[in-house]
């Protein structure tokens, strides 16, 4: 660990130890991250807003707390925040022109929790507009590029958050996951990302896309770092009626390095025709590694997996059409003046929303319209129940399920933008987890012939985050994969 020459390479665990020992100050660490951001952002575009002044002010406050011995678990740690979280006094755009100049007067619950821990926010990270996408190419502020290959996507919708961690612009970050938007970019960018159980983390102050699917989660360099972040994020919140009040365990205590006796289920439905062979090979190798460590590999079935994409894009778009109705040019956000109220709505939304957001609003509105609700939305909800039951049945035979995170490694910029269906299929292995409300983690398990990261996905039963952290950490410690630094 070299804290003097390159603090940006530290993990959260390493940095907090160095900060507490006073081997490094929070201001020094933040300045290093800000210098890194200045050096790579012209090529990467991970951030919509860089909060230089705010970050330095927070870092100075963190140093005072550390000096007094009163620092929180994340005191002085630089984090990037997906630009979908309300952050007091800092613009929150959702990567949309319709919210380009919106500045909230309050913090999302998780932002307030991180502030209380002394975390430092280096900036608001880029995303697909309103979190609708799988590549961060739908941002009104331009695409985020993959730190391993600038001609490839970073994944979506939380591409900026994943790329920022991979490129060393911060030590951790926040994303959101509605159908894979943490796990897919984590896999594409070679970092760890976890979507917790639905209701494990408060969504208050997170701008909604699809309320029954959206979930808050972190990105980090290691499984241990992700566990540290999750401990600070999770827990009940009276401002979010869907948030569980179950006690939050100390996830770090689950990191024993031991998986003996753990039963890992492997669903045949997740090894499909058309998958990139190198992805399948890397995931199969990870399963063999688990076996060598004493875990048992068992075959399970998730028979309704093939219906997940259709069900998801009916439910998510229906909820999006309702949630985005609030952007009307009257209360906040963009307002395009017009002679009538109807024209004001039309002109504001036409100019403010991008093409993908408009597509999803129209799909959702159609699915909810008279005569189609039962045929589409209601049927999709019934399929969702079947998918949830598939997982419940599978978990009677195993403790965790292991799958690829995505069928391919990061694809080239522009490769799928003209074919929305192909883009949607990028999330084929992650969507079911959201429909069932389960926790899932992506972590690196190899690289393809072009040096692009490959992600292993671990899925647990409801509130089974501890088992996921345990298994992910044990694999990481085994040294089965030597992590490669990003190219930028």
Q: Positive or negative, the Cα torsion across 335, 338, 340, 344? A: negative
- Could you count the other beta carbons within 10 Å of the beta carbon of residue 68? 8
Q: Are 163 and 145 in contact (CB under 8 A)?
A: yes
What distance in Å separates the CA atoms of residue 329 and residue 311, rounded to the nearest whole number? 31
Q: Residue 332 — pLDDT band, cuts 50, 70, 90?
A: confident
Residue 401: the pLDDT is 98
| Domain match, 195 and 336 both | no
- Could you count the other beta carbons within 10 Å of the beta carbon of residue 414? 12
390 belongs to a structural domain: no
Retrieve residue 324's tokens. 């985005």
| Domain match, 243 and 349 both | no
Average pLDDT over residues 6-23: 96
Residue 331: the pLDDT is 86
324 φ/ψ angles, rounded to the nearest 5 degrees:
-85, 0
SS3 category, 44: helix
Task: State yes or no: pLDDT of 274 exceeds 90.
Answer: no
Using alpha carbons, list the distances in angstroms from residue 261 to 86, 123, 266: 43, 43, 16
Query: Which contiguous run of DSSP H or E holds residue 472?
Result: helix 465-478
What distance in Å separates the CA atoms of residue 74 and residue 92, rounded to the nearest whole number? 23
Q: Residue 480 — pLDDT band, cuts 50, 70, 90?
A: very high
What digits encode the pLDDT tens for the residues 437-459?
999 999 999 999 999 999 999 99
Residues annotated catalytic, as ranges: 82, 157, 181
Average pLDDT over residues 165-175: 98
CA angle 360, 209, 465 (to 5 degrees): 125
Task: State yes or no: pLDDT of 2 exceeds 60.
Answer: no
Q: Residue 165 — pLDDT band, cuts 50, 70, 90?
A: very high
Average pLDDT over residues 184-203: 98
Q: What is the pTM of this model?
A: 0.97
| Domain match, 193 and 310 both | no
Using a 10 angstrom Cβ sphere, with 0-12 exposed, 13-18 middle and 19 or more buried, the burial of residue 272 is middle
- Could you count the other beta carbons within 10 Å of the beta carbon of residue 246? 13
| Domain match, 215 and 317 both | no
Residue 63: the pLDDT is 98
233 belongs to a structural domain: yes
CA angle 57, 6, 76 (to 5 degrees): 30
156 belongs to a structural domain: yes
Domain that holds residue 97: 7-256
Residue 294, phi-psi category: left (phi > 0), alpha (psi -120 to 50), beta (remainder): left
The last residue of a domain, from among 216, 241, 256: 256
Per cent of the chain over pLDDT 70 is: 99
Task: State yes or no: pLDDT of 478 exceeds 70.
Answer: yes
238 belongs to a structural domain: yes
Residue 424: the pLDDT is 86
| Domain match, 313 and 252 both | no
394 belongs to a structural domain: no
Q: Residue 3 — pLDDT band, cuts 50, 70, 90?
A: low
Q: Please measure the distance between the N-terminal and C-terminal CA atoms of the chain and give it in whole angstroms.
A: 21
| Domain match, 159 and 218 both | yes
CA angle 233, 444, 265 (to 5 degrees): 85
Task: State yes or no: pLDDT of 432 exceeds 90.
Answer: yes
What digits encode the pLDDT tens for the residues 341-356?
999 999 999 999 999 9
Q: Domain count of the chain?
A: 2
The last residue of a domain, from among 334, 352, 381: 381
| Domain match, 47 and 184 both | yes
| Domain match, 377 and 310 both | yes
| Domain match, 313 and 250 both | no
Average pLDDT over residues 175-193: 98
Q: Are 308 and 431 in contact (CB under 8 A)?
A: yes
What's 101's domain CATH number?
A: 3.90.1300.10
Summary mean pLDDT of the chain: 96
| Domain match, 245 and 330 both | no
144 belongs to a structural domain: yes
Average pLDDT over residues 475-488: 95
| Domain match, 184 and 314 both | no
Q: Are 122 and 87 in contact (CB under 8 A)?
A: no
2 belongs to a structural domain: no
264 belongs to a structural domain: no
Per cent of the chain over pLDDT 90 is: 94
Residue 235: the pLDDT is 98
The last residue of a domain, from among 381, 410, 442: 381
Q: Residue 362 — pLDDT band, cuts 50, 70, 90?
A: very high
Task: State yes or no: pLDDT of 126 exceeds 90.
Answer: yes
Q: Are 451 and 202 in contact (CB under 8 A)?
A: no
| Domain match, 243 and 316 both | no
Strand order in the sheet with 263-267: 47-50, 120-125, 78-82, 172-176, 216-220, 192-195, 440-447, 453-459, 400-404, 263-267, 296-300
């Amino acid at each position: 660990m070299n804290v003097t020459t390159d603090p940006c390479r530290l993990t959260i665990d390493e940095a907090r130890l160095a900060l507490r020992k006073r081997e490094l100050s929070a201001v020094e660490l933040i300045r290093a991250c800000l210098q890194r951001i200045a050096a790579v952002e012209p090529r990467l575009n991970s951030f919509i807003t860089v909060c230089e002044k705010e970050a330095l002010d927070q870092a100075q406050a963190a140093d005072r707390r550390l000096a007094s011995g009163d620092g929180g678990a994340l005191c002085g740690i630089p984090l990037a925040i997906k630009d979908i979280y309300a952050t007091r006094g800092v613009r929150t755009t959702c990567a949309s022109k319709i919210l380009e100049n919106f500045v909230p007067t309050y913090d999302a619950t998780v932002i307030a929790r991180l502030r209380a821990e002394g975390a430092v926010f280096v900036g608001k990270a880029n995303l697909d507009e309103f979190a609708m996408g799988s590549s961060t190419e739908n941002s009104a502020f331009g695409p985020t590029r993959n730190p391993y290959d600038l001609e490839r996507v970073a994944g979506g919708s939380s591409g900026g958050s994943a790329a920022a961690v991979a490129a060393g612009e911060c030590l951790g970050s926040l994303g959101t996951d509605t159908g894979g938007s943490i796990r897919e970019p984590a896999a594409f960018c070679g970092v760890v990302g976890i979507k917790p159980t639905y209701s494990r983390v408060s969504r208050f102050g997170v701008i909604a896309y699809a309320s029954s699917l959206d979930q808050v989660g972190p990105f980090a360099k290691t499984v241990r770092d992700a566990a540290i972040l999750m401990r600070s994020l999770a827990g009940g919140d009276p401002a979010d009626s869907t948030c569980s009040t179950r006690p939050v365990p100390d996830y770090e205590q689950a990191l024993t390095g031991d998986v003996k006796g753990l039963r890992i289920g492997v669903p045949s439905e997740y090894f499909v025709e058309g998958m990139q062979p190198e992805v399948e090979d890397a995931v199969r190798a990870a399963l063999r590694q688990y076996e060598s460590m004493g875990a048992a590999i068992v075959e399970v079935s998730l028979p309704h997996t093939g219906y997940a994409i259709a069900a998801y894009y009916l439910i998510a778009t229906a909820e999006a059409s309702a949630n985005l109705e609030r952007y009307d040019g009257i209360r906040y956000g963009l307002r395009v003046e017009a002679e009538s109220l109807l024209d004001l709505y039309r002109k504001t939304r036409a100019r403010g929303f991008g093409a993908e957001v408009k597509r999803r609003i129209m799909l959702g509105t159609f699915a909810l319209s008279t005569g189609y609700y039962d045929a589409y939305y209601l049927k999709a909800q019934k399929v969702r129940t079947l998918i949830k039951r598939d997982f419940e049945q599978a978990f009677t035979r195993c403790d965790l399920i292991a799958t690829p995170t995505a069928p391919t490694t990061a694809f080239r910029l522009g490769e799928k933008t003209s074919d929305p269906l192909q883009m949607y299929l990028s999330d084929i292995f992650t969507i079911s987890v959201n429909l069932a409300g389960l926790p899932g983690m992506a972590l690196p398990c190899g690289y393809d012939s072009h040096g692009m990261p490959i992600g292993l996905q671990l899925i647990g039963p409801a509130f089974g985050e501890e088992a996921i952290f345990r298994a992910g950490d044990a694999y990481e410690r085994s040294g089965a994969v030597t992590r490669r630094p990003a190219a930028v």
